[in-house]
């Protein structure tokens, strides 16, 4: 009786399984699936039953950097991350040896397949589309493993250095092109406005005089300013005619 109490305590200790709220336990009895343990305090039969604890939270696994060639023969290196969770603990334990490793390997193969069917420009512009296509490919297989793939994100897309330099030159040329077009449009608008102003001043003689006075007023009283006043051509012509009449002794009127 003295020796039975420690034995009972050891057996009781070996039979206790505490499952956390975010976990599920899969019990095997003599190698065969028996039942699933829910969160809380559970008991199993020592030596006859064995429990595998499965994390039911959203898990992440890296997609290591992969070398791939796009549809237009541009070599790229891409890596990403897969977000998934276990929805059926029994299938995740029984149907696949290591579901973390399996998802990572399947994602690598799917990534190369998707990149190979896209052009380089689409690859840079459609990261979300790449992730969605890979997710659809993986989900078809992961569902049979008791997994749910929630998202796949592309992290980095690396290209050869010479291609980066070409892209930089192309972007610089595009910016210069836009700047030239903008400047040309500005010069065009300025010319149109100047032509309209000249037409207004030609139709209104007082407008030119008013503009001249405004210009003189803006110069200020500083003695260092040299003012050149433009005299209209018709006034100069009239003065020249009067001087000729005076020299010839002709009447002014």
Q: Judge if 98 and 11 occupy the same domain.
A: no
Written as six digits, the tokens of 100 are 């973390």
What predicted TM-score, i.e. pTM, was given to this entire model?
0.61
Q: 3-class secondary structure for 68-132?
A: EECCCCCEEEEEEEEEEEECCHHHHHHCCCCHHHHHHHHHHHHHHHHHHCCCHHHHHHCHHHHHH
Number of folded domains that form the chain: 2
Angle between helices 161-203 and 205-219 (to 10 degrees): 120
Lowest pLDDT segment from 13-27, 103-117, 183-197, 230-244: 230-244
Per the structure, the complete domain to which residue 153 belongs is given by 59-163
Q: Which pLDDT belongs to residue 91?
A: 92
pLDDT of 1 > 60? The answer is no
Q: Judge if 46 and 82 occupy the same domain.
A: no
> How far apart, in whole angstroms, are the C-alpha atoms of residue 234 and residue 238?
6
pLDDT of 84 > 90? The answer is yes
Residue finishing a domain among 115, 132, 163: 163
Highest mean pLDDT (candidates 7-21, 92-106, 155-169) = 92-106
pLDDT of 233 > 60? The answer is no
Q: Judge if 15 and 94 occupy the same domain.
A: no
Contact 207, 200 (CB under 8 A): yes
Question: Rounded mean pLDDT of the chain?
Answer: 80
At 64 the three-state DSSP class reads strand
């Amino acid at each position: 009786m003295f020796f039975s109490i420690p034995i009972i305590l050891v057996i009781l200790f070996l039979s206790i399984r505490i499952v956390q709220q975010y976990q599920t336990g899969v019990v095997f009895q003599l190698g065969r699936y028996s039942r699933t343990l829910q969160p809380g305090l559970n008991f199993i039969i020592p030596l006859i039953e064995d429990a595998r604890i499965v994390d039911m939270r959203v898990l992440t696994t890296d997609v290591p950097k992969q070398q791939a060639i796009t549809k237009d023969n541009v070599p790229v290196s891409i890596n990403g991350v897969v977000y998934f969770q276990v929805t059926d603990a029994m299938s995740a334990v029984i149907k696949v040896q290591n579901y973390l490793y399996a998802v990572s390997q399947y994602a690598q193969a799917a990534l190369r397949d998707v990149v190979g069917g896209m052009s380089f420009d689409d690859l840079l512009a459609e990261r979300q589309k790449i992730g969605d296509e890979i997710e659809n490919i993986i989900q078809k297989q992961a569902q049979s493993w008791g997994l749910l793939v929630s998202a796949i994100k592309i992290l980095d897309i690396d290209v050869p250095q010479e291609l980066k330099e070409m892209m930089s030159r192309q972007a610089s040329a595009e910016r210069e092109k836009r700047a030239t077009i903008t400047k040309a449009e500005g010069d065009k608008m300025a010319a149109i406005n100047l032509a309209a102003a000249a037409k207004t001043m030609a139709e209104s003689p007082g407008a030119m005089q008013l503009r001249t006075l405004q210009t003189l007023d803006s110069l200020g009283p500083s003695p260092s300013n040299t003012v050149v006043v433009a005299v209209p051509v018709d006034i100069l012509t009239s003065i020249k005619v009067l001087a000729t009449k005076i020299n010839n002794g002709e009447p002014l009127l």
